[in-house]
Amino acid sequence: MAQMTDPVTSQPVFRFAPSPNGYLHVGHAYSALFNAKLAREMGGRLLLRIEDIDPVRSRPEYIAAIYEDLAWLGLEWEEPVRRQSEHLSDYALALERLAARDLVYPCFCSRADVAAAVGGRSDWPRDPDGAPFYPGVCKHLSDQDKQRRLASGQHAALRLDMQAAIAQAQDLIGWCEFFEGAEPRDVNAEPSLWGDVVVGRKDVPTSYHLAVVIDDALQGVTDVARGMDLFNATSLHRLLQTLLDLPAPRYRHHRLIKDDDGRKLAKSSASTPLRTLRAEGVSAQQVRERLGFA
Ligand code: GLU
């Protein structure tokens, strides 16, 4: 299998990458503390990246709260803070590169259109986020049709042609996974789990998946440490990295904080905001201890 356990010989670069669409909660604290601990132990750098591509859900007060909550937890990160909204042209360029290789196509469908095309079939395959596989409605539009719709001002998302993408990536793709331990394991990527996933949204010229892959490369991230909820996303990220000739970071998908872990902190749950705990008189030290980072 190609290049999975190549040792990264440079100084490790970690990142904590919250989306500012809500307040940080106990689960985020685990992820941030996990990254900080690894960076410290490995003599690495820790970046903070604000994943603010969503123009509707991202709010300045949540960004301010991220700084405040992380500082309260006792964390330090490298300046400047990275912002995804500052890299929209990099994402657009990546989409152009995928388009030049005929790997994306415009899709005019709304979620309701997709649901209607799937026709409520309960056996219809779904991606790891639970979205129905794209049934291909716009995949076979004629060039003329596409141009006419674009010219009339209809917005289109860009979808990855998964079959073509996998064929072009050729090599069996995998990654080097540590989970929370010290021993690397080789994992085979299964990007087909995602079907013809959206890589460029109708409202912004990127998607979570594309932006993360471009940023990790731009910022020299060598080690991606994030929750197990993103384990399957890594299959897609490795495919995009391969198609765009970007290096493969090492991955450490950590456990997800269960409600119980949080509840022991002042009767709250894993999704209780850190600032709520703070207001209830819980100290940062108590949070760190409860999460195993005393
Ligand atoms: N922004 C993502 C989130 O808040 C995390 C992205 C990542 O770590 O790759 O869930």
pLDDT tens digit sequence for 125-134: 999 999 999 9
The rounded Å distance from CA 106 to ligand 1 centre is 26
Per-residue pLDDT, averaged over 199-217, amounts to 97
Per-residue pLDDT, averaged over 229-255, amounts to 97
Q: Is the pLDDT of residue 123 over 50?
A: yes
pLDDT tens digit sequence for 177-194: 999 999 999 999 999 999
Per-residue pLDDT, averaged over 74-81, amounts to 98
The rounded Å distance from CA 80 to ligand 1 centre is 19
The rounded Å distance from CA 226 to ligand 1 centre is 7
Higher pLDDT pick, 238 / 268? 238
Q: Return the percentage of the chain with pLDDT > 70, whole number.
A: 97
- Indicate the CATH number of 13-291 among 2.40.420.20, 3.30.230.10, 3.90.1480.20, 3.40.50.620: 3.40.50.620
The rounded Å distance from CA 185 to ligand 1 centre is 22
Q: Which atom of ligand 1 is nearest to the CA of 16?
A: 8
Per-residue pLDDT, averaged over 253-257, amounts to 96
In this structure, the residues whose C-beta lies within 6 A of any atom of ligand 1 are 17-19, 51, 212, 226, 230
Sequence-ordered list of residues with C-beta below 8 angstroms from that of 234, at least 6 positions apart, any chain:
175, 187, 189, 224, 251, 253
State the residue for tokens 């890299």: 87
The rounded Å distance from CA 22 to ligand 1 centre is 13
Residue with the smallest CA separation from ligand 1 atom 7 is 17
- Please report, for the chain, the start and end positions of each structural domain, with discontinuous segments joined by +: 13-291
Residue with the smallest CA separation from ligand 1 atom 9 is 212
Output the CA torsion sign for 209, 212, 217, 218: positive
Which of 208, 235, 241 most suits a substitution to test ligand 1, by most atoms within 8 Å of the C-beta? 208
Q: Is the CB of residue 80 less than 8 Å from the CB of residue 67?
A: no
Confidence label for 3 from pLDDT (cuts 50, 70 and 90) = very low
Rounded CA separation 199/208 (Å): 8
Instruction: Name the pairing type of β-strands 157-160 and 174-177.
Output: unpaired
pLDDT tens digit sequence for 135-173: 999 999 999 999 999 999 999 999 999 999 999 998 779
Which of 48, 209, 226 most suits a substitution to test ligand 1, by most atoms within 8 Å of the C-beta? 226
The per-residue pLDDT for 7 is 52
The rounded Å distance from CA 142 to ligand 1 centre is 36
Strands ordered across the beta sheet of 250-254: 78-83, 45-50, 13-16, 223-227, 250-254, 174-177, 185-188
Quote the pTM value: 0.94
Q: Which atom of ligand 1 is nearest to the CA of 51?
A: 1
Q: Is the pLDDT of residue 5 over 50?
A: no
Q: Which atom of ligand 1 is nearest to the CA of 18?
A: 4
The rounded Å distance from CA 16 to ligand 1 centre is 8
The per-residue pLDDT for 31 is 98
Instruction: Name the pairing type of β-strands 250-254 and 223-227.
Output: parallel
